[in-house]
Amino acid sequence: MSVSWNKNVDSALHRASEENKPLFLDFSAAPM
Amino acid sequence: MYPDPKISDFINQNFIAVKNHIKENPEGFKRFGAQWTPTVIIADPHGVERYRFEGFLPSDEFLPQIEFGLAKEEFAAGDFAGAEPLFRKIVYTHPNADIAPEALYWAGVAKYKGSGDASALAETATAFQSRYADSVWAKKASIWRG
């Protein structure tokens, strides 16, 4: 299974708050 | 490392994951003060940073780092009973990982803060005499010896 990535930080924060889960933020320059 | 199912499963089960690419979202880099790639930040559900590491790591070091980040997040939230076994699991399942000595140290701190029993710190200092004795974390724990 691959990682379920979000690309919008604000919507991810909203989800994290709703689900009470921490955020995992990856900052990359690798080819998408 | 993300194709490794052990890593992707752990992330999906425990976090809301966000990918920021330098070309697509440079403002995301500024927002979280990311100055190099790759950088991983683990933040609480309100976006407050709890742990970060920078630079490439192979899978056998990457997984214990993100497990450590989850433990630090629980610790910062005041859930010491939840954080302690997460720190301890890193020592048991990744005993040779670079983060393992730090995890042993924080397992002791979490046990102490959860119980108020200072013997948890003395036990941790004793544990460092038989493993990771040359680490900086053994030096930091040495003050706890009775």
CA distance A18 to chain B (A): 8
- How does pLDDT run along chain B (146 residues), one tens digit per residue? 688 999 999 999 999 999 999 999 999 999 999 999 999 999 999 999 999 999 999 999 999 999 999 999 999 999 999 999 999 999 999 999 999 999 999 999 999 999 999 999 999 999 999 999 999 999 999 999 97
A1 touches chain B (CB under 8 A): yes
pTM for this prediction? 0.95
B3 contacts on A by Cβ (under 8 Å): 2
* Inter-axis angle of helices B100-115 and B59-76, nearest 10: 20
The sheet with strand A23-28 has its strands ordered as A5-6, B16-21, A23-28, B39-43, B49-54
Fold of B5-144: 1.25.40
CA distance B127 to chain A (A): 31
ipTM of the complex: 0.94
